[in-house]
Structure 1
Amino acid sequence: MADYANAGVVIETVPPSEMGAAIAADAAKKAKFGTIHLLIRGFLCTPFLAYGACVVFAMVAAGIPLAVAGLVFPAGYVTLSFLGLEMATGSFATMPIGMYAGTITPLQLIRNWAWTLGGNLIGGIFFGWLLWFSLTKGGAVPPDGMLKVIAQTAEAKVTYIHYGVIGWCAAIGKGVLCNWLVSLGSVMSKATRSTVGRVVLMWIPIGMFFALGFEHTVVNMWLFPTAILSGANVSIYEWWVWNQIPVTIGNILGAMVLNGTLWYFTHTLQKD
């Protein structure tokens, strides 16, 4: 942080080259986490994303447009970020930067992704069941408005099946568009040393993603279980083959190629 004492001004902005170094250092720390800790941090992560999304779906059920309600969603992401939890979609950008910088190995990258995704999935299924069980009294009462919106959203998320291979590729494309933005939450959090500044910089790309309706693999890990339990016309096969798998591929490409490779590459050549 540059301190201009004579002018009495403290500059809190961190240049991109220093951001890359900080992210590479974070990747090295993540590589040292034990398997149980990756699972626990991944497990605890997904429910906070779900909490933010549930607020959005409750607002939509009350008649508020998704483009407006979606701007509330980043509250969940900010919470999990400050709690030091692990979201795979962020690691899709940070771990490649660590690999390019030499702070981690390719094997450590794969290990982090695999266990974090596993923890995210377990946390998503658990939260989805707990939410459905609590709101329907174990299925004794019909799903409320919010659960109906979640079910409708899940049904819309598997309509790629109607377009065959092109639809499957479109799901990848929406995954790329999503995580090009979402993984910036991890990247842009390094652009300032101010707590308020970090919140604002993370909020911007995360809010845009949800308001635009792109596809996020970790969000879908709780949304589909909740929707299926709530009576959505979606099979487990449709969930995985026509959404979860292509969306995960797209999320990896969006974060790793566009942020973890191209953004990092240009700022290692041209120092700010």
Structure 2
Amino acid sequence: MTGASFEALNPRQMYGKVVETMIIKATRPPRQAFLLAVMAGLFIGLGFVYCAVANVTGAGKIVGGLVFSLGLMLVVVLGGDLFTSTTMTLVPRASRKITWRQMFSNWGVVYAGNFIGAIALVALILLSGHPWKDGGSIALYYIKTTEYKLTYTFTEALFLGVMCNLMVCLGVWMGYSGRSLFDKMAACLFPVGLFISCGFEHSIANMFMIPIGILCSGMMPPEVAAKLADPVNTLSLLTWENFVLKNLIPVTLGNILGGGVLVGLFHWLVFARESAQEASATTPSHESLDEPNAG
């Protein structure tokens, strides 16, 4: 291994790489984008499974947050298409390199694919019987976490979503500076660890977490239900309507603001004019660009 593999891109080079990547994401064929999004939704759910095990076994929120970063590492390294980082396609849209239609169409495809991937993992985990091991301790974690997530006000959920995707997109953005596999993985670690430890809200992770909590609450045997403080109230709170209205909608909006606006558009404001001046001097063909890992 040479020393060159540890040389990171500077901030201006990172901006250029993000623009290239977001153009590729927004103009990707819908079928390919959808399949990559399914993969990403499943990956993020796997991170939450890892986090649940860490919390139940006493490792705590900090370790839980670090192991949850596995989900984003899988997305970044294997090229999955994740809605929360896809919100940064606002950058090429602001530079008029893609259309509003291309951007929103891509968002819809990726969001749907993430949801299907997350729900597929819910089915796999439930069929494996994993939540009911050790007296149902994992299932109780899913149920209690879901119950907590559905107690936020709309405003709280919105800004928890803002803070979450601020951290996720900063991690993804830093990953673009890396030149090796280790660099990309390391960049995900602490931003994701922070958002989990602080209880910030990630819309795609919740596509796994809340459905599995709702389904576990409807399947729990009496001996598991007896371990809940108020089983009746829990069952009344854990509904699909509450999932969509009290969490998924406000958190998704917050994720768009946190990632697309506070990370993506902020960097566009910093670097767009300089990049435009360079582009007028030299305009490389789009076909000559190698596709970087997306995330």
- Give the TM-score band, short-chain normalised: 0.7 to 0.9
The structure that is helix-richer by fraction is 2
TM-score normalised to structure 2 length: 0.81
Counterpart of 2:138 in structure 1 is 146
Q: Which runs of 5+ in 2 are unaligned?
A: 218-233, 276-295
Are the structure 2 counterparts of residues 143 and 83 from structure 1 closer, same or farther at C-alpha, using a change threshold of 3 Å? farther
Q: Do structure 1's residue 196 and structure 2's residue 196 form an aligned pair?
A: no
Are the structure 2 counterparts of residues 85 and 230 from structure 1 closer, same or farther at C-alpha, using a change threshold of 3 Å? same
Counterpart of 1:182 in structure 2 is 168
Q: Do structure 1's residue 55 and structure 2's residue 59 form an aligned pair?
A: no
Deviation at 1:9, TM superposition (A): 7.2
Q: After superposition, what is the alpha-carbon deviation per residue over 1:198-236, rounded to whole angstroms, capped at 9, x for unaligned?
A: 211122211211121110000000111111110163000
- Asked if 2 retains the 8 angstrom alpha-carbon contact of 1:97 and 1:261, the reply is yes
Among candidates 80, 102, 107, match of residue 108 of structure 1: 102
Cα distance in 2 for partners of 1:23, 1:10 equals: 19
SS at 1:131 equivalent:
helix
Counterpart of 1:223 in structure 2 is 209
Among candidates 244, 247, 254, match of residue 240 of structure 1: 244
Among candidates 114, 125, 128, match of residue 119 of structure 2: 125
Letter in 1 for 2:79: G
Letter in 2 for 1:86: D
Runs of 4+ in structure 1 over 4 Å off: 8-11
Q: How well do the aligned residues superpose, as a CA RMSD in angstroms?
A: 2.3
Deviation at 1:101, TM superposition (A): 2.9
Letter in 2 for 1:43: V
Cα distance in 1 for partners of 2:43, 2:214 equals: 20
Q: Which runs of 5+ in 1 are unaligned?
A: 1-7, 161-166
Counterpart of 2:9 in structure 1 is 14
Counterpart of 2:157 in structure 1 is 171
Among candidates 260, 266, 270, match of residue 266 of structure 1: 270
Q: After superposition, what is the alpha-carbon deviation per residue over 1:151-190, rounded to whole angstroms, capped at 9, x for unaligned?
A: 1100000112xxxxxx211110100010000112321111
Cα distance in 2 for partners of 1:241, 1:61 equals: 28
Cα distance in 2 for partners of 1:19, 1:106 equals: 24
SS at 1:183 equivalent:
helix
